């Protein structure tokens, strides 16, 4: 274990000093682009105006024989586009794959100064973060990158879930963690064939009543435990938690429900894999204007955040004041980015 005074030292001579605080950014949706396909690259300049983060995907869903083309396509798209305040991320290949090392060497070498975050898949423990942390420092130093590139881990193995606390606090480079429900389901031997979301057979059933055939049943959330565990690990390390992919593009209500559960439990955003999911993520991860209005009333009624007041018959005290501050702070960040929502929030 590193001593605290070593934790914030650059890991290579000439690498930028690690950030003390992660940047405050609205990241409601991380939009996935397959960069080996020209058709999708051509849409990036328009996409930049609609999403909070553009991510060039190099890992799963990119065929093995297109890995080099995806890497080259990402570099081309990063060079050609002005991302403004929109984040530029890449999802590199897993550390045990034949492509991971060249992904970092080529991308940091070519566009390291434009890259905000590297998403690292299949993270099993803090040792994976330590490896990438060191490699990024060496490459930043070699290519004179002055802003540290951050790391975002995907939580998608049973071992990773077991070690999530240590992963979240492994390095000052940690940006956040996303749940990867598809790989995680396989790693745990869950008997599902879906990318996230619920399952009709994972349910509770009401007790049998004499003479009644029909018994009520309620589908349960397969991901509750993992999301809650991930959120606690991230919040205690001062980084952000995200829900990952929702694979059934035809089921917008189910996607919205999954995103909303994650939002309510503490997540900051989710992945959008299809253009239709951008609006869903924007709606869910921007606080509801009525909630914001109520939260502002609480903050106004308790200017120093102490004591107790009644508002609409509901007790408010220091703890509800803090919840309201979370909602209002997020609304202010969203409003700074989105003029329509700023009007709805009354800022």
- Interface contacts to Mg ion, rule CB under 5 A: 156, 180, 183
SS3 labels along 154-194: EECCHHHHHCHHHHHCCCCCEEEEEECHHHHHHHCCCCCCC
Least distance in angstroms from the C-beta of 91 to ligand GLV? 8
Measured distance CA(172)–CA(122) in Å, rounded: 20
Least distance in angstroms from the C-beta of 178 to ligand GLV? 8
For residue 56, the partner it binds in ligand GLV, Mg ion, none, with Cβ less than 5 to 8 A by kind, is none
What secondary structure does DSSP assign to 204-245, as a single string? EEPPP-TT-----EEE--TTHHHHHHHHHHHHHHT-EEEE--
Residue number, 32 or 345, with CB nearest to ligand GLV: 32
Q: Per rule CB under 6 A, is residue 140 in the interface with ligand GLV?
A: no
Let me know if 245 is exposed, middle or buried by CB neighbors in 10 A (0-12, 13-18, 19+).
buried
For residue 244, the partner it binds in ligand GLV, Mg ion, none, with Cβ less than 5 to 8 A by kind, is ligand GLV
Residue number, 175 or 282, with CB nearest to Mg ion: 175
Say how many CA atoms lie within 13 Å of 271 toward its Cβ. Answer: 26
What secondary structure does DSSP assign to 243-306, as a single string? E-----TT-HHHHHHHHHHHHHHT--EEEE-STHHHHHHHHHHSPPHHHHHHHHHHHHHSTTS-
β-bridge partners, 268: none
For residue 112, the partner it binds in ligand GLV, Mg ion, none, with Cβ less than 5 to 8 A by kind, is none
Q: Residues 156, 231, 280, 331: which binds ligand GLV (CB under 6 A)? A: 156
Least distance in angstroms from the C-beta of 200 to ligand GLV? 20
Residue number, 77 or 154, with CB nearest to ligand GLV: 154
Least distance in angstroms from the C-beta of 17 to ligand GLV? 31
Least distance in angstroms from the C-beta of 130 to ligand GLV? 22
3-state secondary structure at position 332: helix
For residue 102, the partner it binds in ligand GLV, Mg ion, none, with Cβ less than 5 to 8 A by kind, is none
Least distance in angstroms from the C-beta of 179 to ligand GLV? 7
For residue 287, the partner it binds in ligand GLV, Mg ion, none, with Cβ less than 5 to 8 A by kind, is none
3-state secondary structure at position 29: strand
Q: Per rule CB under 6 A, is residue 154 in the interface with ligand GLV?
A: yes
Q: Is there a contact between 127 and 153 (Cβ–Cβ < 8 Å)?
A: no
Least distance in angstroms from the C-beta of 9 to ligand GLV? 32
Residues of span 230-249 touching ligand GLV by CB under 6 A: 244-245
Least distance in angstroms from the C-beta of 156 to ligand GLV? 5
Residues of span 99-118 touching ligand GLV by CB under 6 A: none
Residues of span 175-204 touching ligand GLV by CB under 6 A: 180-183, 195
Closest C-alpha to 321, from 335, 342, 346, 304: 304
For residue 245, the partner it binds in ligand GLV, Mg ion, none, with Cβ less than 5 to 8 A by kind, is ligand GLV
The token duo for 68 is: 């080099």
Question: Shortest Cβ contact with Mg ion: which residue?
Answer: 183
What does each C-alpha distance from 173 to 16, 22, 152 come to in angstroms? 11, 8, 9
The token duo for 113 is: 């100064």
Sites of contact with ligand GLV (CB under 6 A): 60, 154, 156, 180-183, 195, 244-245
């Amino acid at each position: 274990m590193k001593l605290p005074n070593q934790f914030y030292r650059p890991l290579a001579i000439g690498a930028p000093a690690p950030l003390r605080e992660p940047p405050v950014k609205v990241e409601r949706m991380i939009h996935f682009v397959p960069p080996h396909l020209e058709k999708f690259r051509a849409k990036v300049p328009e996409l930049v105006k609609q999403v909070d983060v553009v991510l060039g995907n190099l890992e799963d869903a990119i065929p093995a024989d297109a890995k080099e083309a995806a890497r080259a396509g990402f570099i081309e798209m990063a060079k050609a586009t002005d991302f403004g305040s929109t984040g530029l991320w890449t999802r590199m290949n897993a550390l045990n794959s034949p492509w991971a090392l060249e992904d970092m060497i080529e991308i940091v070498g070519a566009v390291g100064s434009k890259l905000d975050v590297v998403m690292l898949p299949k993270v099993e423990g803090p040792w994976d973060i330590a490896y990438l942390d060191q490699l990024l420092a060496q490459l930043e130093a070699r290519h004179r990158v002055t802003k540290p590139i951050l790391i975002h881990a995907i939580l998608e193995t049973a071992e990773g879930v077991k070690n999530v606390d240590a992963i979240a606090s492994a390095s000052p480079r940690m940006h956040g963690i996303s749940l990867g429900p598809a790989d995680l389901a396989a790693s745990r031997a869950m008997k599902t064939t879906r990318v996230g979301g619920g399952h009709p057979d994972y349910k509770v059933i009401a007790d049998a009543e004499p003479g009644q055939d029909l018994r009520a049943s309620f589908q349960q959330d397969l991901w509750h435990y993992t999301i809650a565990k991930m959120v606690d690990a991230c919040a205690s390390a001062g980084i952000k938690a995200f829900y990952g992919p929702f694979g059934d593009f035809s089921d917008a209500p189910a996607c919205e429900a999954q995103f909303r559960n994650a939002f309510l439990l503490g997540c900051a955003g989710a992945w959008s894999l299809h253009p239709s999911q951008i609006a869903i993520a924007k709606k869910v991860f921007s606080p509801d204007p009525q909630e914001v209005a109520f939260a502002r009333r609480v903050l106004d009624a308790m200017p120093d955040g102490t004591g107790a007041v009644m508002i609409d018959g509901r007790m408010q005290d220091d703890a509800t004041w803090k919840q309201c501050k979370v909602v209002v702070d997020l609304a202010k960040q969203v409003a700074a980015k989105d003029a329509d929502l700023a009007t709805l929030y009354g800022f």
